[in-house]
Amino acid sequence: EVRLLESGGGLVQPGGSLRLSCAASGFAFSGYSMTWVRQAPGKGLEWVSGISGSGIDTYYAESVKGRFTISRDISKTTVYLQMNSLRADDTAVYYCAKGLFFGGYPTPFDYWGQGTLITVSS
């Protein structure tokens, strides 16, 4: 059974940093791309960042480019999202999701975590 468990959310001040983790299990982790998607309060889904199965290729939305860094640790089957210079408009529930196709990017997202809430406020 595929499982994705996000952690690391919480309250942070504007300008602060936070690192999200997504612990994955139940599939061949290194073969699939992983993605972070967020949903701000009252808003729709927004793609944030993606990483290839190998971790070599990374992708970012313009809104987070230069501030967020995605990475993965194959030995720990975990994906991370390092978030720096956080702003109020980064407040959202952050979901990690698994790519559907082995080795492919772009790819649909077939399994999602339950999400972790980030609140950026003073």
Partner 1 sequence: QSLLTQPPSVSGAPGQRVTISCTGSSSNIGAGYDVNWYQHLPGTAPKLLIYANSNRPSGVSDRFSGSKSGTSASLAITGLQAEDEADYYCQSYDSSLSGSVFGGGTKVTVL
User: Which of residues 30 and 46 has its CB atom nearest to partner 1 in the complex?
Assistant: 46
Write out the binding residues for partner 1, residues 60-119 only, by CB under 8 A: 60-62, 95, 97, 100, 106, 108-110, 112-115
Does residue 1 belong to the site contacting partner 1 (CB under 8 A)? no
Instruction: Tell me whether strands 10-12 and 116-120 are parallel, antiparallel or unpaired.
Output: parallel
Choose, by CB under 8 A, the member of 35, 52, 78, 116 that binds partner 1. Answer: 35
Structure token digits, residue 70: 């995605």
Tokens of 91: 């407040």
3-state SS, residue 42:
coil
CA distance linking residue 120 with residue 112, whole number of Å: 23
Residues from 37 through 66 that contact partner 1 (CB under 8 A):
37, 44-47, 50, 59-62
In sequence order, what are the beta bridge partners of 71?
80
Binding residues for partner 1 (CB under 8 A): 35, 37, 44-47, 50, 59-62, 95, 97, 100, 106, 108-110, 112-115
